[in-house]
């Protein structure tokens, strides 16, 4: 009963003190805070994720932790209640001028959290209002560094730059900006039309470039095909010429070998008995064959004086053959004698 009476007395005194405070010294933010502040009932239960700032005789005393807490009536009062949850603040739409002098209308969403209840209570009058104004000014400053095209392409970097700028200033307020997101970017109608025309021009340009690249690749492919065809044709012609030359060479060698064998056989036949008679018979047959072909190909005929005397012609041919045979035999004997002299040891 005594504790309940003491609490009622303390609450009444606190309400009288608040009513007696001059209205000229209280700002709108303080009025908002005072209307939502809990009363000192000696025994207080602080909710989770909230921080209550206690003042003793108008001076900061301590911060109440979540759970059960005790305060001295009349002397202690709750000056501020800070919410430690992540808060979402809607940044109002505002106008900003880009680097290429285009006026844009931009709004955003700010996510922040109170890290230090003491700084948030005594470092700034209204933390949320201060952070909102800082976000607006920072956004205008960052947009002034970018052109219109980069604003749309670099929204992520723009958001991160705004967060860094806000955190540098809000550190003294005990507030941490977690992220900033741009919701909408409104472009003037004329600028939008010019952007649409630019997009169409870019698409036409890409189509023209792609078509020209396709034509170029087709021409290159056709040229490569002609080149390969010519190379293959030349290689085929080269192989044909090589084969023809090889065949002709083999034919010449075969004819030479056959002629060589025929000459050897003829030479062997002449060295046998009655070889001269056989040679005379062969010469006579060739003479008759050659004489029979006269006047078949041309009209001009040159005849020797003794055309009808076959025996004299054969005798003359055999005489030439005998003289050539003796000459070749003499050359062979001289060569053998030279070889024998070269093989003898020198004294």
One digit per residue, the tens of pLDDT, for the chain of length 347 reads 444 444 454 444 444 444 333 333 334 444 444 446 888 888 889 898 888 999 988 888 888 888 888 888 888 899 888 888 888 888 888 888 888 888 888 888 989 899 888 888 888 888 888 888 888 888 888 888 888 878 878 788 888 888 888 888 888 888 888 888 888 888 888 877 877 787 788 888 888 898 898 888 999 999 999 889 999 888 888 888 898 888 888 888 888 888 888 777 777 776 666 666 666 666 666 666 666 665 566 656 555 655 556 566 666 666 766 665 566 566 556 666 666 665 555 54
CA pair distance 145, 65, nearest whole angstrom: 45
What Rg, from alpha-carbon coordinates, does the chain have? Answer: 62
pLDDT reported for residue 314: 61
> From CA 109, how far away is CA 111, in angstroms rounded?
7
SS3 296: coil
E strand map for 75-229: 76-83, 87-97, 103-114, 175-186
Which pLDDT does position 2 carry in this prediction? 46
Burial 271-289 (b: 16+ CB within 10 A, else e): eeeeeeeebbeebeeeeee
DSSP H or E stretch at residue 69: strand 67-70
At 220 the pLDDT is: 92
pLDDT reported for residue 149: 79
pTM greater than the 0.95 cutoff? no
Name 182's bridge partners. Answer: 108
Distance CA 23, CA 26 (A): 5
Q: Name the token pair of 246.
A: 């090889």
Strand bridging mode 103-114 / 50-56? unpaired
DSSP type of residue 97: E
């Amino acid at each position: 009963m005594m504790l309940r009476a003491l609490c009622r007395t303390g609450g009444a005194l606190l309400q009288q003190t608040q009513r007696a405070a001059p209205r000229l010294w209280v700002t709108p933010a303080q009025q908002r805070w005072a209307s939502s502040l809990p009363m000192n009932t000696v025994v207080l239960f602080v909710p989770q994720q909230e921080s209550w700032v206690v003042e003793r005789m108008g001076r900061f005393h301590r911060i109440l932790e979540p759970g059960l807490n005790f305060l001295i009536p009349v002397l202690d009062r709750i000056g501020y209640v800070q919410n430690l949850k992540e808060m979402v603040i809607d940044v109002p739409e505002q106008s900003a001028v880009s680097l290429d002098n285009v006026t844009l209308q931009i709004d955003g969403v700010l996510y922040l959290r109170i890290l230090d209840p003491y700084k948030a209570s005594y470092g700034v009058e209204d933390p949320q209002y201060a952070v909102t104004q800082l976000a607006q000014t920072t956004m205008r400053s960052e947009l002034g560094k970018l052109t219109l095209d980069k604003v749309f392409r670099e929204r992520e970097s723009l958001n991160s730059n705004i967060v860094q700028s806000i955190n540098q200033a809000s550190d003294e307020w005990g507030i941490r900006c977690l992220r900033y997101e741009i919701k909408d970017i409104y472009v003037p109608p004329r600028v939008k039309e010019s952007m649409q025309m630019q997009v169409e021009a870019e698409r036409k340009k890409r189509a023209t470039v792609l078509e020209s690249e396709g034509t170029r690749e087709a021409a290159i492919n056709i040229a490569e095909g002609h080149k390969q065809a010519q190379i293959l044709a030349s290689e085929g012609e080269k192989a044909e010429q090589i084969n023809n030359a090889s065949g002709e060479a083999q034919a010449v060698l075969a004819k030479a070998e056959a002629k060589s064998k025929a000459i050897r056989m003829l030479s062997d036949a002449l060295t046998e008995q009655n070889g001269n008679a056989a040679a005379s018979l062969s010469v006579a047959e060739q003479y008759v064959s050659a004489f029979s072909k006269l006047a078949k190909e041309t009209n001009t005929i040159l005849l020797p004086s003794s055309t009808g005397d076959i025996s004299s012609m054969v005798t003359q041919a055999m005489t030439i053959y005998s003289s050539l045979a003796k000459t070749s035999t003499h050359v062979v004997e001289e060569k053998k004698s030279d070889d024998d002299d070269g093989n003898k040891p020198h004294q």
